[in-house]
Amino acid sequence: MISTDHTGNQVAITVFGEFTLADYREFEELVNYKIKFGGQVDLLFDLREMAGFTLDLAWEEIKFSRQHAHDFRRIAILTEDQWVTWSAWVSQLFVDAEVQVFSLEEDARNWLGTAAEAA
DSSP string for residues in 44-110: EEEEEEEEEE-HHHHHHHHHHHHHTTTSEEEEEEE---HHHHHHHHHHTTT-SSEEEEESSHHHHHH
* pLDDT at site 86: 54
Domain ranges of the chain: 2-118
What pLDDT digit, counting tens, does each position of 21-76 carry? 999 999 999 999 999 999 999 999 999 998 888 888 878 888 888 899 899 999 99
- Please provide the CATH number assigned to the domain covering 2-118: 3.40.50.10600
- Provide the 8-state DSSP code for 118: H
- Provide the 8-state DSSP code for 24: H
What pLDDT digit, counting tens, does each position of 4-20 carry? 999 999 999 999 999 89
Rounded-to-integer distance, Cα 11 and Cα 55, Å: 24
